[in-house]
């Protein structure tokens, strides 16, 4: 029974586990005991992560659409067709008519290759991936403030913090291993502040729990900073030495009226004062946040407000302090790092910078496009709609994960051509003209980067299922068919190229990843040990920048016709669009179907009983789901997880975005509830 | 001492294996059977691995492997049979395991756990999948002269050394192993390769005895498993405790997956194609909601706290009632891996501590009643309470032993206080 060490394929905690292989099949997993995050355990998803690998629904051969139906084809035909159709659309409408979606579930090497494919072969910067839908405001907001959009500190540092402020992160459910370090900190006497519109499980352990209304984060965050300023709890020396633009920021706060905090956010001012004093009152305080902060039209301002709070109190730049945006997907950090973003090449090097382009052109031996690229939301909803004529989608499922699904699916259907590579026939793949069967994490080599910037190996345990191939090989084949030969013998060779072109990955080589437990970027050269916490001594951008932030109400507020707030999210037993987790016995048994969380008071008024179906209607569409009565949601607010294709929450959500980060406001829209007779 | 087994046995029951002969002995074994032993891999993790060559592995006989050996008897996923549909007919093809193994270097707790599983898997009917593997496996444990940080096998009475159940048991005497021969198959091994062994001398025996004694004094974790069990049986654990555990549990199932005695499994039929499929069983965990949810959607243990309550009841009083031993062997793995400290050690400590508090409060109440009834003086109560704190005896017993009162008087006083007519009324 060989045991192959690899990195878990679900969330970005980066747990390492051994795949147990018997007779060419993965039959179980063993968590690593020595790995610093894994510490001998996994969440329920991790323990069962192996099961979808051999599922009968795995795509085993390429599919081509013929007379409306997807039919089996051989690789040669399928690849030729994709290369030919992409070239045709490019010739006919220009490279700006092509869109490429990369994948936070694929390896660094695959993301790097696909963004190279978009830019060097298709000649477009229209390449993006699902970070757009989760942490694009962090990439922008924290880059503006600190110079880097990643978690400032290592996960394990949480255990030694004195105060932990968790907001917009259901940590125990979405990042269980990170919650474990929070529990460790609590056992050592740390204070926990939880700020969340839903009474999440972690709130039961909070010393202070604040329940703001949806979409009012700028208000309570600015309120907290103002209280700290007024009560003189700020870190003067840090502000003078390490930051800039403080004057403008404090001017803004002067005009901020603390009285509006309770009126708008619903948080009693005295409670907020208490939280401000606790957070500012210690040396080692960390802030943990996630989608609850970013998925708003004010996402970037929310993130900036968090950065302001941390800088005001000097809670950054040191060990056991900092700001931690918890990334969702196993490699969403890496997909960003690799430049699967319209404005960035790998390592957050600006594509608009001619010098940077020249550097890449010299190695890639071709000219690079200069026109700015489209975000994935713009490819479907915004300015880009109808400009995109053909798409290549690797391991993403916008037909279930994007907001306003009717509009999204309509945009997919008007495409002249779409190719999808995936491991299952997802809702998106089912709409494709060509479907390419990809290998899963258990069947390929590569690296992924966890939320704490830890670069780790993914190792092949079994042969690809059926005729499936690793995505990096698929991209190489396509590029070669489009007159740009890519002949990499292995992911290690791709990483050598990444290291050469990407300063923060400059010292990342496969042989180094065999010792220890990966490397933290920035790791500029072979002798560099990696960087567990960022901004030591000074911010990456030089001085930390305060920025004024202004409260903007959510794009769609409840009204008479749609009197409820709807907020969407995930549950611990399922993963995103469910293509993997819903095919796992223990997980699908645990949560077999969708539900809407309703406050019992509202349910009473509506006459809805527990586990009975309810129709949820928004301006975009409607779904029917079973009610789950719980006090965890406040009155006039309902919550639906987005994993379930038979009741897709995103039918209801809207496509209004944060103007800078272009992240849709998944966390707030207006709905009405109807009892199903 | 165990008797000599089988005729023609020439080797005594206590032997010495020189450490330099270990590799040779294992090499011989590996030629005839699949050899499984704890290996420290290049990443630093110790796992039970199948050893293909004894030369290029680093045997780790000092630490407890991350996962228990149960996977070798009850794999995480196991195909029970394949099926094929032809028209309306089904054809079945059973997949019975057939491999002879030696598990070498088991910790005592893990071996004890296998013995527990043995009972479970042939209790009502004989589970052929389990028993096929089990009856072809020889178990060799090494006594723990150095318990790990979270080990509490001594409290669970499953270690650090065993007195029965093993085929061979090794004790590390520094430059050599003291080998005890247990069940017949251990005897077969030493008889077959007798030239690796010499007879143990009195000096060896003395040394081994010293090590056993010393090991027993080295435990960092001691918990009162019996006290926790009795509190569970007497329903002395309050709901608040279960509630707290329910909040802290993150529902990962890890405690069941890493437990050497947790044997619950789920069975599913998996189609492989339109006409073919397999019946598979896989590990399951009782802390999951789906474990008890009924077909209609109703779950008798909907709240996590109820499921955890059931788990601990099952591990302690129910197992003891049924199998005369707890289904906890004190390996400490759950303690090391639990996200929310809902493990056996924390549980037992919580139960005992809160029980202690509760019994102190009860003592105070009883004392007050007796003082008010004029049976003892306040001074006598104070002395008795101090004594009781040392002896740990219930206050009533302490007072009776000190001759200050009698059972009857206590009963009467209590009866009056609680207004129980049978005691308060008849004589009052």
Considering the domain architecture, whether residues A95 and A161 belong to the same structural domain is answered as no
Beta bridge partners of A449: A455
Chain B residue numbers with beta carbons less than 8 Å from the beta carbon of A16 are 43
Considering the domain architecture, whether residues A371 and A497 belong to the same structural domain is answered as yes
Rounded to a whole number, what is the distance in Å from the CA of B416 to chain A's nearest CA? 43
Rounded to a whole number, what is the distance in Å from the CA of A26 to chain B's nearest CA? 9
Considering the domain architecture, whether residues A360 and A492 belong to the same structural domain is answered as yes
Contact B78 A176 (CB under 8 A): no
Structure token digits, residue B206: 């003395």
In a domain, A669, yes or no: yes
Contact A43 B252 (CB under 8 A): yes
Name the DSSP letter for residue A654.
-
Rounded to a whole number, what is the distance in Å from the CA of A96 to chain B's nearest CA? 43
Among the partner residues A42, A514, A517, nearest to B254 by beta-carbon distance: A42
- pLDDT per residue of chain B (428 residues) written in tens, 0 to 9: 444 444 444 678 999 999 999 999 999 999 999 999 999 999 999 999 999 899 988 999 999 999 999 999 999 999 999 999 999 999 999 999 999 999 999 999 999 999 999 999 999 899 999 999 999 999 999 999 999 989 999 999 998 999 999 999 999 999 999 999 999 999 999 999 999 999 999 999 999 999 999 999 999 888 999 999 999 999 989 999 999 999 999 999 999 999 999 999 999 999 988 899 999 999 999 999 999 999 888 899 999 999 999 999 999 999 999 999 999 999 999 999 999 999 999 999 999 988 777 777 777 777 888 888 788 888 888 888 887 777 666 777 778 888 888 877 777 777 766 666 554 433 33
In a domain, A144, yes or no: no
Amino acid B392: pLDDT = 64
Chain B residue numbers with beta carbons less than 8 Å from the beta carbon of A179 are 250, 339
A57 touches B at CB < 8 Å: no
Contact A33 B253 (CB under 8 A): no
In a domain, A642, yes or no: yes
Considering the domain architecture, whether residues A174 and A302 belong to the same structural domain is answered as yes
Contact A27 B288 (CB under 8 A): no
In a domain, A32, yes or no: yes
Cα radius of gyration rounded to whole Å, chain A: 24
Could you tell me the CATH number of the domain that includes residue A507? 3.40.50.740
Contact A31 B49 (CB under 8 A): no
A196 touches B at CB < 8 Å: no
Q: Name the one residue in this structure whose structure tokens are 């308060």.
A: B424
Rounded to a whole number, what is the distance in Å from the CA of B277 to chain A's nearest CA? 10
Amino acid A386: pLDDT = 66
| C-alpha–C-alpha distance, residues B412 and A579, integer Å | 69
Amino acid B56: pLDDT = 81
How many contacts (CB atoms, under 8 Å) link A and B? 113
Contact B337 A30 (CB under 8 A): no
Chain B residue numbers with beta carbons less than 8 Å from the beta carbon of A57 are none
Amino acid A383: pLDDT = 55
Structure token digits, residue A275: 């939280």
A28 touches B at CB < 8 Å: yes
Could you tell me the CATH number of the domain that includes residue A225? 3.40.228.10
What is chain B's length?
428
In a domain, A520, yes or no: no
State how many domains chain A has. Answer: 4
A585 touches B at CB < 8 Å: yes
Amino acid B427: pLDDT = 36
Contact A34 B45 (CB under 8 A): yes
Contact B45 A18 (CB under 8 A): yes
Q: From A478, A513, A548, give the residue that closes a domain.
A: A513
Chain B residue numbers with beta carbons less than 8 Å from the beta carbon of A182 are none
Contact (CB, 8 A) for A569 and A170: yes
Helix and strand counts by DSSP (H, E) for chain A: 24, 28
| C-alpha–C-alpha distance, residues A119 and A370, integer Å | 10
In a domain, A527, yes or no: no
Is the peptide bond prior to B184 cis by the omega test (within 30 degrees of 0)? no
Amino acid A385: pLDDT = 56
Model confidence pLDDT, tens digit, residues B321-333: 999 999 999 999 9
Considering the domain architecture, whether residues A219 and A304 belong to the same structural domain is answered as yes
Q: Name the one residue in this structure whose structure tokens are 């050690």.
A: B345
Q: Residue B264: how many CB atoms within 10 A of its CB? A: 14
Among the partner residues A27, A30, A46, nearest to B47 by beta-carbon distance: A30
Amino acid A382: pLDDT = 63
Beta bridge partners of A345: A349
Chain A residue numbers with beta carbons less than 8 Å from the beta carbon of B245 are none
Considering the domain architecture, whether residues A127 and A163 belong to the same structural domain is answered as no
Three-state DSSP string of chain B: CCCCCCCCCCCCCEEEEEHHHHHHHHHHHHHHCEEEEEEECCCCCEEEEEECCCCCCCECCCCCCCCCHHHHCCCCEEEEEEEEEECCEEEEEECCCCCCEEEEEEEHHHHHHHHHHHHHCCCCCCCHHHHHHHHCEEEEEECCCCCCCCCCHHHHCCCCCCCCCCCEEEEECCCEEEEEECCHHHHHHHHHCHHHEEECCHHHHHHHHHHHHHHHCCCCCCCCHHHHHHHHHCCCCCHHHHHHHHHHCCCCCHHHHHCCCCCCEEEEEEECCCCEEEEEEEECCCCCHHHCCCCCCCCCCCCHHHHHHHHHHHHHHHHHHHHCCCCCCCCCHHHHHCCCCCCHHHHHHHHHHHHHHHHHHHHHHHHHHHHHCCCCCHHHHHHHHHHHHHHCCCHHHHHHHCCCCCHHHHHHHHHHHHCCHHHHHHHC
Considering the domain architecture, whether residues A322 and A344 belong to the same structural domain is answered as no
Considering the domain architecture, whether residues A344 and A413 belong to the same structural domain is answered as yes
CB within 8 Å of B82: residues ≥ 6 apart: B92, B93, B95, B272, B276, B277, B278
Chain A residue numbers with beta carbons less than 8 Å from the beta carbon of B248 are 183
In a domain, A553, yes or no: no
| Closest residue of chain B to A518, computed from CA coordinates | B43
Q: Domain residues for A41?
A: 3-54
Considering the domain architecture, whether residues A234 and A369 belong to the same structural domain is answered as no
Contact B282 A585 (CB under 8 A): yes
Beta bridge partners of A598: A629
Chain B residue numbers with beta carbons less than 8 Å from the beta carbon of A572 are 250-251
Considering the domain architecture, whether residues A480 and A418 belong to the same structural domain is answered as yes
Contact (CB, 8 A) for A63 and A70: yes
In a domain, A555, yes or no: no
Considering the domain architecture, whether residues A583 and A661 belong to the same structural domain is answered as yes
| C-alpha–C-alpha distance, residues B288 and A325, integer Å | 29
Contact A43 B75 (CB under 8 A): no
Mean pLDDT by 10 residues, chain A (677 residues): 93 97 96 96 97 96 97 98 98 96 98 98 97 94 93 94 98 95 96 98 97 97 97 96 96 95 97 98 96 97 97 93 95 97 96 97 97 91 73 97 94 94 98 98 98 97 98 98 96 98 97 94 96 88 95 96 97 95 96 97 96 97 97 97 97 95 96 95
Considering the domain architecture, whether residues A354 and A466 belong to the same structural domain is answered as yes
CB within 8 Å of A6: residues ≥ 6 apart: A16, A17, A18, A19, A441, A442, A457, A458, A459, A461
Q: Name the one residue in this structure whose structure tokens are 């000092």.
A: B62
| Closest residue of chain A to B336, computed from CA coordinates | A40
CB within 8 Å of A640: residues ≥ 6 apart: A566, A568, A594, A595, A596, A597, A616, A623, A625, A647, A649, A652
Among the partner residues B42, B247, B282, nearest to A204 by beta-carbon distance: B247
Chain A residue numbers with beta carbons less than 8 Å from the beta carbon of B46 are 33
Chain B residue numbers with beta carbons less than 8 Å from the beta carbon of A47 are 252-254, 257
Chain B residue numbers with beta carbons less than 8 Å from the beta carbon of A46 are 252
Residue B337 dihedral angles phi and psi, to the nearest 5°? -110, -10
Among the partner residues A1, A44, A56, nearest to B252 by beta-carbon distance: A44
| Closest residue of chain B to A186, computed from CA coordinates | B340
| C-alpha–C-alpha distance, residues B383 and B371, integer Å | 13
Among the partner residues B251, B271, B337, nearest to A39 by beta-carbon distance: B337
DSSP string over A206-221: -SEEE-PPTT-HHHHH
Amino acid B419: pLDDT = 60
A593 touches B at CB < 8 Å: no
Contact (CB, 8 A) for A526 and A519: no
Contact B76 A29 (CB under 8 A): yes
Contact B339 A32 (CB under 8 A): no
Return the residue in B149, B251, B280, B292 with the most chain A beta carbons within 10 A, the one to mutate for interface testing: B251
Q: Looking at this predicted complex, what is its ipTM?
A: 0.94
Amino acid A256: pLDDT = 95
């Amino acid at each position: 029974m060989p045991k192959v060490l690899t990195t878990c394929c679900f969330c970005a905690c980066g747990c390492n586990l051994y795949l147990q292989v018997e007779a060419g099949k993965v039959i179980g997993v063993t968590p690593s005991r020595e790995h610093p995050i894994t510490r001998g355990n996994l969440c329920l998803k991790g323990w069962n992560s192996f099961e979808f690998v051999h599922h009968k629904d795995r795509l085993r051969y390429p599919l081509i659409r013929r007379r409306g139906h997807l039919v089996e084809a051989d690789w040669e035909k399928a690849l030729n067709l994709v290369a030919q159709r992409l070239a045709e659309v490019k010739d006919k409408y220009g490279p700006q008519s092509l869109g490429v979606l990369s994948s936070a579930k694929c390896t660094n090497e695959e993301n790097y290759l696909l963004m190279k494919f978009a830019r060097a072969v298709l000649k477009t910067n229209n390449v993006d991936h699902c970070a757009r839908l989760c942490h694009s405001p962090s990439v922008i907001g924290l880059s503006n403030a600190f110079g880097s959009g990643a978690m400032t500190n290592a996960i394990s540092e949480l255990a030694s913090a004195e105060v932990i402020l968790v907001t917009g992160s259901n940590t125990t459910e979405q990042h269980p291993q990170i919650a474990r370090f929070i529990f460790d900190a609590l056992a050592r006497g740390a204070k926990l502040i939880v700020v969340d519109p839903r009474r999440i499980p972690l709130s039961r352990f909070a010393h202070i729990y604040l329940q703001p209304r949806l979409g009012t984060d700028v208000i309570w965050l600015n309120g907290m900073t103002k209280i700290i300023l007024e009560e003189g709890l700020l870190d003067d020396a840090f502000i003078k030495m390490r930051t800039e633009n403080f004057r403008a920021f404090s001017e803004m706060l002067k005009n901020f009226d603390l009285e509006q905090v309770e009126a708008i956010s619903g948080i009693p001012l005295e409670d907020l004062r208490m939280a401000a004093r606790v957070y500012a009152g210690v040396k080692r305080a960390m802030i943990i946040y996630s989608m609850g902060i970013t998925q708003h039209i004010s996402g970037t301002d929310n993130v900036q407000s968090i950065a302001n709070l941390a800088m005001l109190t000097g809670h950054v730049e040191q060990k056991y302090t900092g700001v931690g945006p918890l990334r969702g997907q196993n490699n969403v950090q890496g997909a960003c790092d690799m430049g699967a973003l319209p404005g960035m090449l790998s390592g957050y090097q600006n594509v608009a910078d001619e010098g940077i382009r020249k550097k890449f052109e010299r190695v890639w031996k071709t000219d690079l496009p200069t026109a700015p690229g489209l975000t994935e939301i713009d490819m479907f909803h915004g300015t880009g709609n109808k400009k995109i004529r053909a798409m290549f989608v690797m391991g993403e499922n916008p037909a279930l994960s994007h907001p306003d699904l009717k509009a999204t699916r309509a945009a997919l259907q008007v495409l002249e051509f779409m190719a999808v590579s995936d491991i299952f026939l997802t809702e998106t793949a089912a709409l494709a003209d060509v479907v390419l069967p990809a290998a899963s994490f258990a069947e390929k080599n590569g690296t992924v980067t966890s939320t704490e910037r830890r670069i780790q190996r993914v190792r092949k345990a079994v042969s690809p299922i059926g005729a499936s191939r690793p995505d990096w090989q698929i991209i190489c084949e396509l590029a070669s068919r489009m007159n740009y030969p890519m002949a990499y013998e292995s992911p290690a060779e791709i990483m050598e190229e990444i290291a050469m072109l990407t300063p923060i990955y400059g010292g990342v080589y496969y042989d180094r990843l065999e010792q220890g437990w990966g490397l933290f970027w920035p790791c500029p050269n072979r002798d560099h040990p990696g960087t567990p916490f960022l901004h030591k001594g000074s911010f990456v951008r030089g001085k930390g920048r305060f920025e004024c932030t202004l409260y903007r109400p959510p794009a769609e507020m409840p009204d008479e016709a749609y009197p409820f707030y709807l907020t969407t999210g995930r549950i611990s037993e399922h993963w995103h669009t469910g293509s993997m987790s819903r095919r796992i016995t223990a997980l699908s048994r645990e949560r077999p179907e969708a539900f809407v969380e309703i406050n019992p008071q509202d349910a009473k008024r509506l006459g809805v009983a527990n586990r009975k179906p309810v129709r949820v209607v928004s301006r975009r569409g409607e779904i029917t789901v079973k009610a789950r009565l719980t006090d965890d949601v406040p009155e006039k607010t309902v919550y639906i997880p987005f994993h379930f294709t038979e009741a897709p929450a995103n039918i209801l959500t809207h496509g209004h975005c944060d103007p800078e980060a272009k992240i849709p406001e998944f966390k707030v829209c207006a709905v009405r509830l109807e009892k199903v007779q | 001492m165990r008797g000599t087994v089988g005729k023609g046995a020439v080797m005594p029951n206590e032997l010495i294996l020189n450490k330099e002969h270990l590799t040779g002995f294992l090499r011989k074994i590996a030629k005839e059977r699949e050899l499984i032993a704890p290996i420290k891999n290049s990443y630093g993790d110790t796992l039970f691995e199948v050893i293909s060559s004894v030369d290029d592995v680093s045997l780790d006989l000092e630490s407890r492997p991350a996962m228990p050996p149960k996977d070798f008897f009850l794999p995480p996923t196991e195909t029970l049979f394949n099926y094929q549909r032809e028209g309306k007919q089904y054809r079945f093809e059973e997949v019975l395991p057939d491999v002879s193994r030696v598990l070498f270097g088991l910790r005592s707790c893990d071996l004890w756990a296998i013995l527990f599983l043995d009972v479970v898997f042939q209790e009502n009917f004989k589970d052929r999948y389990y028993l096929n593997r089990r009856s072809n496996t020889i178990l060799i444990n090494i006594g723990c002269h150095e318990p790990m940080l979270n080990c509490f096998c001594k409290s669970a009475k499953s270690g650090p050394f065993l007195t029965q159940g093993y085929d061979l048991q090794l004790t590390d005497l520094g430059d050599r192993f003291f080998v005890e021969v247990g069940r017949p198959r251990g005897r077969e091994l030493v008889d077959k390769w007798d030239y690796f062994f010499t007879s143990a001398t009195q000096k060896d025996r003395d040394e081994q005895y010293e090590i056993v004694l010393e090991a027993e004094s080295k435990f960092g974790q001691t918990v009162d498993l019996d006290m926790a069990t009795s509190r569970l049986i007497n329903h002395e654990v309050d709901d608040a405790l279960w509630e707290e555990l329910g909040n802290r549990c993150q529902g990962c199932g890890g405690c069941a997956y890493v437990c050497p005695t947790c044997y619950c499994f789920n069975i599913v039929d998996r189609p492989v194609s339109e006409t073919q499929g397999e019946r598979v069983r896989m590990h399951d965990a009782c802390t999951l909601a789906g474990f008890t949810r009924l077909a209609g959607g109703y779950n008798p243990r909907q709240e996590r706290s109820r499921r955890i309550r059931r788990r601990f009841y099952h591990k302690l009083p129910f197992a003891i009632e049924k199998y005369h031993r707890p289904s906890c062997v004190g390996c400490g793995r759950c303690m090391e891996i639990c996200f929310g400290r809902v493990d056996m050690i924390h549980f037992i400590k919580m139960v005992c501590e809160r029980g202690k508090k509760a019994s102190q409060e009860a003592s105070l109440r009883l004392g007050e009643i007796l003082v008010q009834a004029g049976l003892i003086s306040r001074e006598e109560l104070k002395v008795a309470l101090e004594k009781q704190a040392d002896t740990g005896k219930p206050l009533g017993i302490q007072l009776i032993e000190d001759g200050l009162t009698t059972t009857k008087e206590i009963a009467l006083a209590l009866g009056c206080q609680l207004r129980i007519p049978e005691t308060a009324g008849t004589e009052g």
